[in-house]
Amino acid sequence: MKVVPLEKTTMTVAELAELAKDGPVVLTRAGHPVVAVRDLSGSDWESVSLASNPKFMALIEESRQSYRDSGGTSLEDLRHELDLGTARRSRSSQGRKKAT
């Protein structure tokens, strides 16, 4: 993580974006963090949007806590409950032959 004091920099946004490719960059004012810049290359808009949505993140954490406290439902049980039958092999594994 790199720290860039706003009072001492003349970096452009493009330069800051380039610097963020190597890891998070924290901009500070009077020694206090103001903003973090992170490279989002390879990320999709939906993931970025959801990851920065406090309500969504609270829902995810609530689900994780529920799983830690009570456990979860296996995929096999869910398929049975929804009357979906047994899981089928994926197309990519159907064409493969076992090595003998």
Per-residue pLDDT of the chain (100 residues), as tens digits, is 999 999 999 999 999 999 999 999 999 999 999 999 999 998 999 998 998 899 999 999 999 999 999 998 888 989 999 999 876 666 665 555 555 4
Half-sphere exposure of 8 (CA within 13 A, CB side): 7
* Boundaries of every domain in the chain: 2-37, 45-81
pTM of the model: 0.54
Q: Are 36 and 12 in contact (CB under 8 A)?
A: no
